[in-house]
Structure formats: structure tokens, C-alpha cells
Amino acid sequence: MATSNFYEDRRYCRACKRYVHYLQSPREAHCFLCGGAVRLFSPPDLERFRSSLQRERAARTSPSRGQRASA
């Protein structure tokens, strides 16, 4: 069943202030409701995504180095 993809495939529209269905054009994606540009994440979700990436990166690089530096 490929229909479930339709519901997952949403992006954040700043004008509508919510996740919306969007129309993908070669250059950008546009809100299905207002036609504005859409983003992958809402601002708070983007922050969460970034900080989780940083935490992951830090966890990957720091363990051996961090111990030495603090001692």
C-alpha cells in the first residue's frame, strides 16, 4: 500500500504555521494550501533535529578525547 506515504510526506509552511502537504517543483516545494515555500522542519523541530545531531556527533568524537582533556 503506497497511500500511507501521502500522509507522511509533509513539510512545514511558515505562512500556515503547520505541517502541510506540498507540491514538489524542480526548484522548491510549495505549500498545498497557500502556495508558499515550505521547509522540512518547523523551527522548534529544526532545533531539536540540530541539537540531536550535535549530541550524536559529540558522543561519537568526545569519549576518548574528553577524558584526557579534563585530566
Pair 22, 31: CB distance under 8 Å: yes
- Provide the minimum distance between the beta carbon of 22 and Zn ion in the complex, in angstroms, as a whole number: 9
Task: Write out the three cell numbers for 62.
Answer: 568526545
Does 31 engage in binding with Zn ion (CB under 5 A)? yes
- Provide the minimum distance between the beta carbon of 36 and Zn ion in the complex, in angstroms, as a whole number: 5
Interacting residue with Zn ion among 9, 15, 47, 52 (CB under 5 A): 15
Does 29 engage in binding with Zn ion (CB under 5 A)? no
Distances (CA, A) of 9 to 3, 21, 42, 60: 10, 7, 14, 30
- Provide the minimum distance between the beta carbon of 13 and Zn ion in the complex, in angstroms, as a whole number: 3
